Amino acid sequence: MTAGTTRRGLLKRGLLGGLLLAAGGSTWLALRPSALAALPDEPLRLLTAAQYSILMAVIGRCVPDPVSTLVQRQETALRIDATLAGANDRTRADFTQLLGLLDNALAGLLLDGNPTPFTHLDATAQEAVLEAWRTSRIGLRRAGYQALRRIIVTHYYADPANQAAIGYPGPPKGVL
Amino acid sequence: MAGSFIEGRTLTTNVSLDCDVCIVGSGAGGATAARVLARAGLKVVVLEAGGYNRKDRFTMQEHETYPLLYQEGMRRSTVDLGIGILQGRTVGGGTVVNWTTSFRTPDHVLAHWRERYGLTALTTEALDPHWDEMEGRLGVYEVPEEQINANNRKLWDGADALGWSRERLRRNVRGCRQVGYCGMGCPFDAKQSALITLLPDAVEAGATVISDCDVRRLRIADGRVVAVEGRFHHPEEGDRLTGPTLVLRPQVCIVSGGAINTPALLMRSDLPDPQGRLGRRTFLHPVAATIGHFADTVAPYGGIPQSVASHHFVRRTEGMGFFLEAAPLHPVLFSGALTAHGPQHREAMEALPKTANVLALLVDGFDDSERGGSVTLDKDGSPRLEYHYTPRLWEAVRAGIEAGAKVLLAAGARRVLTPNEPPLEILGESSLHRLAEQVYVPNRVRLFSAHQMGGCAMGADPAESVVDSDLCHHDVRNLHVMDGSVLPTSLGVNPQFTIYGLVHRAATQLALRANAVKME
Ligand SMILES: Cc1cc2nc3c(=O)[nH]c(=O)nc-3n(C[C@H](O)[C@H](O)[C@H](O)COP(=O)(O)OP(=O)(O)OC[C@H]3O[C@@H](n4cnc5c(N)ncnc54)[C@H](O)[C@@H]3O)c2cc1C
Ligand code: SF4
């Protein structure tokens, strides 16, 4: 690679990164609203209904049926909501922006030529989007995928029942 | 007269105090300094951002203990999320959650520091008495072979089969019940963390340890620290600082917030830093973890978490060195570390009871091309860590994964999963060449760090360092930095005893000087 192409590559990435954040951050740029999931009985502490729905869609891909039931996925989303409610402003903003970006029609249109928001896609198409983020040449997208999967799986396996289901014995009984 | 532990969250009014010594941070460095200085008769106050969490809160549940005991609830990472940062935040700091591996600083590292950074006072002979004292206090012993758990035994057997050097580790425990929950705080007070050893010693000698107090800045006037300003918070308020304020006016200020946090505090305090040294050269021993699936049960969550290492590749000439150890695997930590997705992720989770792992810890900072990480401040004053990846680092990541895979295969693994994203599945040595075809950029390989070092480096030359070998700040006369942030490079061994040794030495000298001044 010559110095010239490296420089152009970086510039492009920089611009694209800025664009992505701008698109994710401002909801008015979205062309289509998120498809809303049924809300849990318990009230949400931080996430909006739209953000919750996007999160539920990604949870459905990271711990899909039959690994998890709908109730387990809802509990996972609620635990994530509680964590974010206790987190600092930067973490909250980063995460909610990330959810917005994933479901943002304009960002999808500009980067992938597909304006359909994530929550409107079927499972196979959602997998393709996540896989594209996971292996993207754009660092921001790779990081976005990691942030989503890590928070989801660590909150799913936070539940002792879900730990027991994979054969983890938990703390030895009667030692405390 | 004995001092006390005070839970800052219970305070309702602002605090203003004079003292001889204020220590910010109660981890390996801060607790050692507190013990030495309080025993020398100085009035010591230790301020700690984390809670005063004792064994009754160490519930052996990851989701309860991680938010309590780790920086940012264990979600700390480099800004690009490329390297996860495990770092303690509780009374006792990292010593409460660490895996108890106890190494003195290798001779060749001290020799490099003397030659390259002019740290001529730091010889093994000078440090030995300090290590002897600390190892005695903290109950360091060598793990006998029969105590090696199945997870570590794969490294032990695999290295042996390959003809690689291997060793049993030394640990700081007394009456360890080998339950495997070190990373969540020892529920039996077997681990000789600062929480149950050095800090109680300091309190017995008159020190006051105040928890839940986040130190926001030091006030400097005429080249001296004149005040230390903090704010209390309650864990239920999350990270928000909502409690009363604190002002201490110490004669001497010691910052022991650990790498990343210490340089951030000094930056918030607008310390003179004309050469821009603060926060630079933060080294991480970046870790690439490879896992293997075995036919028999491994139970990588039980038994002594770390008991074996191989330093076979630590000084390799092909590139950056690395050393091999194993990590305890519990479901939350393991789920976040896995690079698999969806059904493949689940399959790897279900294999946890039969999974062993080998960590390759990369020894960063010894080549002049390596800058490690840089700490800067976010808008709200919190630290941001950016790591400068080099081709040399990525080469060592690949080589470290290859070594981990070889060990696991040699120990009888049926299948190996690498930390590449997505993971490479390796069934035999013949497919190791595929490692070279993977993409090596941030977030295409899962990396993490449990060893943060540097950012306020020691050195003889003020143009390229922040403190001298006595851990005194070059410009601000009554300021000392006593924690892992003073290391000029990484180590190639786990860092706690390097910190104990350096700080014990520096604090002993400081005590002599401070008492000499008091006598005048
Ligand atoms: C999971 C894990 C396993 C490890 N295993 C090992 C091992 O087996 N062997 C080994 O040698 N090392 C191990 N380590 C590393 C070792 O514990 C650390 O290197 C060591 O504790 C660092 O000491 P320190 O004094 O630099 O900082 P720390 O021990 O991290 O202490 C710093 C303290 O300062 C507090 N603080 C920071 N900023 C402020 C502020 N502004 N105001 C108030 N308080 C503040 C922090 O909350 C923290 O409690 C491990 C670490 C982890 C996280
Ligand atoms: S392994 Fe030993 S030191 Fe670690 S938590 Fe268990 S009893 Fe404590």
pLDDT for position B283: 98
Residue pair B493/B323 in contact by the 8 Å Cβ criterion: yes
Domain that holds residue A108: 49-164
Ligand 1 binding pocket includes B484 (Cβ within 6 Å): yes
B81, B179, B332: residue with CB nearest A158: B332
Residues 6+ apart with CB under 8 A from B199: B5, B26, B31, B34, B35, B46, B91, B92, B207, B209
Report ipTM (2 d.p.): 0.95
pLDDT for position A170: 94
> What is the model's pTM?
0.95
Report pLDDT digits (tens) over B459-475: 999 999 999 999 999 99
Determine, for residues A176 and B441 on separate chains, whether the beta-carbon distance falls below 8 Å: no
Question: What is the DSSP secondary structure assignment for residue B241, as one 8-state letter?
Answer: -
Report pLDDT digits (tens) over B6-37: 999 999 999 999 999 999 999 999 999 999 99
Assess if residue A23 is contained within a domain.
Answer: no
Assess if residue A15 is contained within a domain.
Answer: no
Pick the atom of ligand 2 nearest to B185's CA.
Answer: 5
CA-based nearest residue to B63, from A83, A119, A99, A93: A83
Beta-bridge mates of residue B386: B374
Assess if residue A81 is contained within a domain.
Answer: yes
Residue pair B31/B198 in contact by the 8 Å Cβ criterion: yes
The dihedral region occupied by A156, where left means phi > 0, alpha psi between -120 and 50, and beta the remainder, is alpha
Residue pair B483/B506 in contact by the 8 Å Cβ criterion: no
Determine, for residues B443 and A142 on separate chains, whether the beta-carbon distance falls below 8 Å: yes
Assess if residue A90 is contained within a domain.
Answer: yes
Alpha carbons B348 and B81: distance in angstroms, whole number: 22
pLDDT band at A114 (very low <50, low <70, confident <90, very high): confident
Determine, for residues B73 and A135 on separate chains, whether the beta-carbon distance falls below 8 Å: no
Determine, for residues A62 and B342 on separate chains, whether the beta-carbon distance falls below 8 Å: yes
Chain B contact for A35, CB < 8 A? Answer: no
Residue in chain A closest to B62 (alpha carbons) equals A158
Alpha carbons B254 and B22: distance in angstroms, whole number: 6
pLDDT for position A87: 86
B187, B346, B350: residue with CB nearest A176: B187
Nearest-CA residue for ligand 1 atom 27 is B258
CA-based nearest residue to B182, from B257, B95, B102, B259: B95
Alpha carbons B215 and B246: distance in angstroms, whole number: 9
Determine, for residues A166 and B352 on separate chains, whether the beta-carbon distance falls below 8 Å: yes
Task: Show residues of chain A in contact with B378, CB under 8 Å.
Answer: 90
Beta-bridge mates of residue B282: B373, B454
Ligand 2 centroid distance, CA of B182 (Å) = 5
Alpha carbons B27 and B37: distance in angstroms, whole number: 15
pLDDT band at A2 (very low <50, low <70, confident <90, very high): very low
Nearest-CA residue for ligand 2 atom 4 is B182
Task: Show residues of chain A in contact with B353, CB under 8 Å.
Answer: 166-168
Ligand 2 binding pocket includes B147 (Cβ within 6 Å): no
B301, B352, B443: residue with CB nearest A143: B443
Distance of CA B161 to the CA centre of its chain: 31
pLDDT band at A6 (very low <50, low <70, confident <90, very high): very low
Ligand 2 binding pocket includes B179 (Cβ within 6 Å): yes
Task: Show residues of chain B in contact with A67, CB under 8 Å.
Answer: 343, 346
Ligand 1 binding pocket includes B290 (Cβ within 6 Å): no
The single residue listed with the structure tokens 């014990």 is: B504
Assess if residue A156 is contained within a domain.
Answer: yes
Determine, for residues B81 and A172 on separate chains, whether the beta-carbon distance falls below 8 Å: no
Report pLDDT digits (tens) over A115-156: 889 999 999 999 999 999 999 999 999 999 999 999 999 999
Residue pair A127/B342 in contact by the 8 Å Cβ criterion: yes
Chain B contact for A18, CB < 8 A? Answer: no
Cβ–Cβ pairs < 8 A, chains A and B = 119
Residue in chain B closest to A162 (alpha carbons) equals B331
Candidates B141, B173, B189, B329: which one to mutate for ligand 2, based on the most atoms within 8 Å of Cβ? B173
H or E element, residue B94: helix B94-97
Pick the atom of ligand 2 nearest to B171's CA.
Answer: 3
Ligand 1 centroid distance, CA of B268 (Å) = 20
Percent helix, percent strand, percent coil in chain A, to nearest 5: 65, 0, 35
Task: Show residues of chain A in contact with B338, CB under 8 Å.
Answer: 153
Residue pair A147/A155 in contact by the 8 Å Cβ criterion: no
Ligand 1 centroid distance, CA of B258 (Å) = 6
pLDDT at A22 over 70: no
Ligand 1 centroid distance, CA of B480 (Å) = 17
Pick the atom of ligand 2 nearest to B100's CA.
Answer: 3
Residue B310, SS3 per DSSP: strand
Ligand minimally distant from the alpha carbon of residue B196: 2
Q: Which residues of chain B have pLDDT under 70?
A: 1, 236-240, 519-520
Ligand 2 binding pocket includes B60 (Cβ within 6 Å): no
Ligand 2 centroid distance, CA of B153 (Å) = 18
Alpha carbons B140 and B386: distance in angstroms, whole number: 35
Ligand 2 binding pocket includes B173 (Cβ within 6 Å): yes
Distance of CA A94 to the CA centre of its chain: 11
Assess if residue A19 is contained within a domain.
Answer: no
Residue pair B509/B486 in contact by the 8 Å Cβ criterion: no
β-pairing verdict for B208-210 and B44-47: parallel
The answer for A 127-166 residues in CB contact with B (under 8 A) is: 127, 130-131, 134-135, 139, 142-143, 145-147, 149-151, 153-154, 156-160, 162-163, 166
Count of domains for chain A: 1
Alpha carbons B103 and B134: distance in angstroms, whole number: 12
The answer for B 370-429 residues in CB contact with A (under 8 A) is: 378, 380, 382, 421-422
DSSP for A38-72, please give it: PPPSSPPSS--HHHHHHHHHHHHHHS-TTTS-HHH
Assess if residue A21 is contained within a domain.
Answer: no
pLDDT band at A10 (very low <50, low <70, confident <90, very high): very low
Nearest-CA residue for ligand 2 atom 3 is B191
Ligand 2 binding pocket includes B314 (Cβ within 6 Å): no
Task: Show residues of chain A in contact with B439, CB under 8 Å.
Answer: 135
Ligand 1 centroid distance, CA of B183 (Å) = 12
pLDDT at A29 over 70: no
Ligand minimally distant from the alpha carbon of residue B306: 1
Assess if residue A108 is contained within a domain.
Answer: yes
